[in-house]
Structure formats: structure tokens, C-alpha cells
Amino acid sequence: MRTSWALGVTMVLAVLVVAVTAKPWPAPDFKNCIDLPIESCCTPVLYNGTARKFTYQSWLPMRTRPAAHLVDAAYTAKIQKAYALMRALPDTDPRSFNNQAKLHCAYCDNHFFYPEYPNSRLEIHRNWLFLPWHRLFVYHHERILAKLLGDDTFALPFWDFDNQSAEKPEGNTYPLLYRNPTGFGPFGNSSALFDPLRLASSSYPRLVDFQDPFQFYPNRTDDDQRIKNAHAMYTQIVATPVLPTLFMGEPYRYGDVGAVGGGTIENKPHGSMHVWANLIKAQFTNSASDPVFYALHANVDRLWKIWKKIPGGVRKDPTDPDWLNTEFTFYDEDGKIVTAAVHQALDTNLLRSHTLPSTQNPHEALNPILMDPLVDSCTDCTLHRLLIKRS
């Protein structure tokens, strides 16, 4: 009797301690955004209603993200139209292309402040918020494009840059969809998916480079580049980051100061791909003002899913309530304010979002001698065969 009473008290105390110390970040109030002297990323507060709480849009059809290098003419016309419409929105509309890029920037570089912690501003990079924040941001971006098209089946493409197969069209080059400066169909001659600031060093048929995105050594052979990329993918996605915090970033709780430590996926391939894709826009300030940002992040999203499926059963999302209950604020497809929690970002089925399989996965993309014991899980081993042939 006495033991169970003591146990009860201990449990109540434990619950109280957790309640007092639990520190998920609350959703930022868009009114608490402060521009920096060097950077103005706060979107004007364009909607003053109460924020809606995000709920799954379970009525949506399952939307399927295709690989950007494999899309057909009909898809190309559709996404061209979507971005042309988004770019045509005035900046008095929070869904405008410009405001989307600003919202990404506002979540970086110390813009959102909380009166309770005047010295720490919300940062969604280089910590464990990186993956869920970007998934939810891209989700809402995709829903806005769908709304502009009047087509709820619309899904963004993913840039299949981890695919090191030499088969054409290649996944690991700049996708034609984004690199073609010319528009399509009735929406004018200039492509709404093109950005003129990209450097020639990443132009077709250059292969992506995760290790040396500045292209200091551009004379590598394509075969060597593929192997280098495959090694980087294997190290960053498969071999090193078994623990969630190594993969997605260090714990970062309400009131903590900034970039406590990014995960392997954020550093490479994510960071190096931004540099490779658009060096001039690789900064947080304006990276989301190149449309390829969203295809790059659709692939980061996909790699997160792949990481969880790597055999071994140890690669799992954190269960820490401070992570699960952190909340963010976005603009929804109607331009209204919505808050969504990290735990709502974890199941892509509930988000009604699928990704078409790539021809290759990062754990399939390396010399089988090095990737043992994962070699057993290889299903499409194009690069294996390529590497085996070479050696």
C-alpha cells in the first residue's frame, strides 16, 4: 500500500517536472518579426484573423511527386502555369512568389522574436527543426500552387540528385524543367521556373557535386564524379547518421539560441546542392526565390523517408515532446494564417503525398563491398553494375 502511494506521488512529480521543463517552440506570431539592418524578410502582416490550427486535408486525392528529370509535356505545362500564376500575384497577397521566399528567410537569420526570450530568435536551420519545418513549408507552397491551378492533384517534382545512374536523362544534372530558360504554351516565352542568376558551372551536362559544389576542380571525369557523389550520399544518409540527431540536427528548445548543430542531411547533400544549384542565391535570404529550391527540398523530404526505411530498424524520428510539439506558422492556400506542429509533418500518407520511386536510392548507390550489409536491400543496382564493370 505504502509503496504504491509513494510510486503515485513520484509519478505525479515526474509529470509535473516534465510539464514545467517541456519547451517546444510555440508558433511564431507574424507580428513579432523584426527586419535586420541588412535584410528585410518580414512579410507584411497581410491577414489579421486568428490563426487556424492545421488539420490533415484527408479529402485531398493522393498527390504523387514525380522525378523532375522524367516529367512529360503535360506536367511541364501545368507547373509552368502554376509558377506563372504565383509570380503574377501582387505582393499584397501573402501567397506571392516573393512572399514565399521572404517567409523562408524570416524563419532564418533571427527574424522571429518571442517577448519571453528577447535574446533568442527562432531558427529553423542547423538544428532538429530543419526537416519538419521544410516539409510543412513545401506542403503549403505546393497547396498554394494547386489552388492557383484549381487542381488538387498537383504535386511538386523532386530533383533526383542522389541518383548516380548514367542513363539519360540523368537525375544528377540540372533538370531540363528548371534549366530551360524558355517558357511553354500560352504563358509566354520566359520560363517561370528559370532563374538567371545560376552559374554556368552547373549548366548541363555538368554532374552535381556534393563535395565540391564550388567546382574548383571541374576536370574530374563523369565516372569519378558519380563515385564521389555516391560515396557522399552513402556517408551522409546511410553510414554516419544512425541516430536521429546526427541525421536531422541537435535538439533545439524554446529559448535556446540559434544554430546548435545541423544534421548530416542538412549539410550535404542539402547545403552543397544549394551552392551547386545557385551559388548567388545559396543564402537563406533568397534561396527560396529560385523555383528549384522547392524541387531540391522535395528531394530532401524524400531522402528523409528513405532514411527511415533503411534496414536495421534503428533510424527513427525523435520522440522528444519538445520536438513533436514545436509549432510553426504558415500561409495556407487561401492566404490565411495556419499553425502546424512537427508531429503533423511525420506521416506523408496523412499529408496525402507520395513520391514516385527513383531509379536509385542512396543505399543502393555504392560499391557493394563498402556498403555491406545493406547490399542485400539493393533492388535497382544500376550504379552497382556500373562500378563493378569498372573495377
**Which residues are identified as catalytic?**
104, 125, 134, 270, 274, 284, 297
| 208-247: contacts with ligand C2O (CB under 6 A) | none
From candidates 102, 226, 274, 384, binder to ligand C2O by CB under 6 A: 274
Query: Is 329 a residue that touches ligand C2O (CB under 6 A)?
Result: no
Instruction: Tell me whether residue 300 or residue 386 sits nearer to ligand C2O (CB atom).
Output: 300
The H-or-E segment that residue 79 falls in is: helix 73-88
> Which cell numbers hold the place of 221?
571525369
From candidates 65, 81, 198, 270, binder to ligand C2O by CB under 6 A: 270
- 106, 112 Cβ separation under 8 angstroms: yes
Query: Is 315 a residue that touches ligand C2O (CB under 6 A)?
Result: no
Instruction: Tell me whether residue 258 or residue 368 sits nearer to ligand C2O (CB atom).
Output: 258
Indicate the burial class of 162 (C-beta count within 10 angstroms; 0-12, 13-18, 19 or more): buried
Instruction: Tell me whether residue 268 or residue 270 sits nearer to ligand C2O (CB atom).
Output: 270
Compute CA distances 355 → 26, 76, 140, 165, 225, whole Å: 30, 17, 16, 19, 26
- 360, 162 Cβ separation under 8 angstroms: yes
The CB-of-297 to ligand C2O minimum distance in angstroms stands at 6
x-or-dash string of contact with ligand C2O, 130-169, rule CB under 6 A: ----x-----------------------------------
Give 134's DSSP letter.
H
The CB-of-321 to ligand C2O minimum distance in angstroms stands at 24
What CA–CA distance (Å, rounded) separates 311 from 320?
23
Query: Is 302 a residue that touches ligand C2O (CB under 6 A)?
Result: no
What CA–CA distance (Å, rounded) separates 88 from 237?
38
From candidates 63, 95, 102, 104, binder to ligand C2O by CB under 6 A: 104
- 366, 231 Cβ separation under 8 angstroms: yes
From candidates 81, 102, 111, 125, binder to ligand C2O by CB under 6 A: 125
Strands laid side by side in the 327-331 sheet: 52-53, 337-341, 327-331
What CA–CA distance (Å, rounded) separates 319 from 325?
10
Chain residues binding ligand C2O by CB under 6 A are: 104, 125, 134, 270, 274, 287, 297
